[in-house]
Amino acid sequence: MIIYEIHRGFVSVLTLLILNMGCTAISPADKIDSKSYFEAGAELRIQSKGKAPEIGLALAGGGTKAGSFAVGVLHGLTEAGVMERVDAISTVSGGGYAALWYFARIVNGAEHAEGSSLPLRQAEIAQTYFVDCLPYKYNRFSVIRYVTDAPAPYSDLCPQMNYTNFCPSCPGFSYDEVRYQNYLRGYQDVMAWIKPFDYRVTADDYKSNVLEMGGLILLTAGATAIQFVPNVVFDWELPLSPSRMMYRAGIMRAFGATPPNCFRDHNACTASERKQGDDGWVRSNLTFDLLRQEYEKGNIPLWIINTTAGEDRVLWRWKQKDYRLTNFQFSPYGSGSYLFGYSKRSLDGLLPWEAVMSSAAFLDSQQRVYSPGWSTLANAGLRIFALDWGLSVRNDRMHLSEYAFHKILPWPLYFLHGRQGNSANSHANIRLSDGGQSENLGAFALIQRNLPNMILSDHSADRSGSMGDVCRLKTGLQSGSANGKELYLFIPGLLDLERVCSAGSFLGYDIFNWQHPILLGCITSDSKNKDCSQVGGVNNDHFQRVFLIKPALSNSNGHHEIGKTLAKRSLEQIMDKCKDGKIDDKRCGQILRKVCHQGSAMLPYVNSKSSQVQNPWSYETRISCELLGFTAINALAELPNNNAGSVKYVINSEGTNKDDACPYFPQSSTIDITTNSSFSLFGAYRELGRYYARQLGWFFGRENTQQWIDDSTLESRYLSVLAYQAKYPISPTTIPMSDAKAGKIGECLL
């Protein structure tokens, strides 16, 4: 029987090889050295913008949660005027969702307002793509106002009875201005079959979820049988996973489609539904060539999409490789990695959306992130049960005869050939999977391009505050993972980061005691420059400023506005007046109305603070009503009852993690949100990312004179805030149990 299967497999492989004989992963004529690849486009950027690339933005992985937070980061940077100065965006997994949505909007002329052309002004981007209204469930926190510079005046509050945010009888809403953000809200469940949304039940329609998951299980069972011979008996790696198809369709449905305009097409919306948008333009017209053209004109940032390729894939090998080898990039200037080399072309002709899908394939048997035993068992299970989400492309550096030989080897013999090694010709396939399986921040691509300033949005799941992705970056840099030389990551505002990152550490930083809205640091070649104060010098030939954003909340002792707003006295009032089952709409609204800001994205945010070191952040008082409303409804609980040894929940126990008695938000599980998100979770993470990103206007925005903040002012502010954060750092504390926040149980926000 096994001989018959080998013979049949050999015939099939030969057929595939004959059909693809002229097709290689990377043509020799397109090969390019790494230095040229990383520097590609810089000179043309200087010609178009008048200066060398200076600011990079990294949007980390983390599924739908990361996508939601990253949309908020893009929103906040746009409002603060920073996005027009960003020269490169490096994305991983869920961060790529947001970037796909962003680039698909701003380079598709058909979606622009009439008469607009690239480059779009920041105000145009904010008015067209980020404008939203406050969901009516938060009406108790809102102040009804009207925006006078909209196409027609409309209320900040969404229509009461219409959950699509489209209301032909409501002033202003008849134009369907908020369709982009509303559409993102309604299609957050990427692991679902295609259907029109009604976001009243996005996270509550359990019957529908059970039916969908039941159907997926049946399809997966069928696929398991079909793919057993090609993908288990042999190493053909055909993409036959139904869950992979569902996942990719869900990402495109939410982040790649153009929302229907219900003003122009009334059939696209009903009283409770908005039909799925059209993703045809993204699938066909959003190309790397188009992105390169617009980048070289100075209209958009360079987009770098990070995947993983080249991990050893044998049963007895579990250790994760150096991410210098396994980080595989796509950009408008080609693709490649240190292991497989670089090319001027996109691997296998993949389009940006396809590269994003590979970057987001977190279920894949290539992963080596988890513990040895679990990694081996999980990877085998993923392979057997048709749950592999990655993509395999033939590696042309392996000779054709060797490649054919590998494809006829049955299990377990194929583990002995073409599945491991640190040279390009030792792998039969270039297996693309989740970029987070190598370097999840997306920072490495920006370090390789040596941009002077890096904004890092670290929004993957990190409830314990153990800074796993930051530590992996830090450890890899010190081992010489960047261009072959040792680099050092220092963040003075995180006390004892070296100890937190050490192997076997049980320390973390309390996510609910986050002292600074943006953490400043540096990447330097000088191991002694721990305070990041030395920008140049003999021992510091490499220096990049780091601005780190993380989904976290401050308590009442924090050094920024969220903590002061959510001070103990205010929390007690909110608990008393806003808790579920005893809502005093009038009093509850009065409490938050004084401190929240409800205005559309088209309203300018002005500097309401002085620029003293103790209060440097320009926009921190503008906390959105939705963020505060969500926190009040879903994220507040009393301190533990010391006598009883338990916690008394007074707001919403369903929103509270039972292990540490604190809210899931803002560090909800990546898997939970990716499989079952909601319009309110999307809004909460978006608004938190928006709140933090706006603060960067103090460093990179415009002064009141409308002149850009110059380099000397940036340097002065950077050093002053560094010194301030070093004086008042966030201290590590013990992680009491697995998957719990660091610090004492039940101490959240107070």
The pLDDT tens digits of the residues spanning 23-80 come to: 455 566 689 999 999 999 999 889 988 889 999 999 999 999 999 999 999 999 998 8
| Reported pTM | 0.91
Please tell me the predicted confidence (pLDDT) of residue 539: 62
Q: Amino acid letter at 388?
A: D
pLDDT in tens, 394-453: 999 999 999 999 999 999 999 999 999 999 999 999 999 999 999 999 999 999 999 999
User: How many CB atoms lie under 10 A from the CB of residue 651?
Assistant: 23
pLDDT for the residue 406: 95
**Cα separations (Å) of 748 from 226, 513, 653, 682?**
50, 8, 14, 22
Give residue-wise pLDDT tens across range 3-19.
333 333 344 444 444 44
The pLDDT value recorded for residue 458 is 97
Write the pLDDT tens digit of every residue in 553-572: 887 677 777 777 765 445 55
Report the DSSP beta bridge partners of residue 624.
Answer: 597
Per-residue model confidence (pLDDT) at position 237? 93
State the residue for tokens 């080898």. 325
For 675, the 3-state DSSP assignment is: helix
pLDDT at position 491 over 50: yes
- Give me the mean pLDDT over the 191-198 stretch: 66
pLDDT in tens, 69-109: 999 999 999 988 899 999 999 999 999 999 999 999 999 99
Spacing of C-alpha 302 from chain mean position: 17
Q: What is the pLDDT of residue 180?
A: 93
Residue 723 has pLDDT above 70, yes or no: yes
pLDDT-based confidence at 525, cuts 50/70/90? very high
Give the burial string for 94-126 (b: 16+ CB within 10 Å, else e).
bbbbbbbbbbbbbbeeebbeeeeeebbebebbb
Residue 258, both tokens: 């153009």
H/E run at residue 656: strand 656-657
Rounded mean pLDDT of the chain? 82
Report, as an integer, the average pLDDT of 636-647: 46
What's the confidence (pLDDT) of residue 703?
75
Name the residue among 428, 439, 340, 353 with its Cα closest to residue 392: 428
Helix (H), strand (E), coil (C) string for 712-726: HHHHHHHHHHHHHHH
| pLDDT: which is higher, 271 or 350 | 350
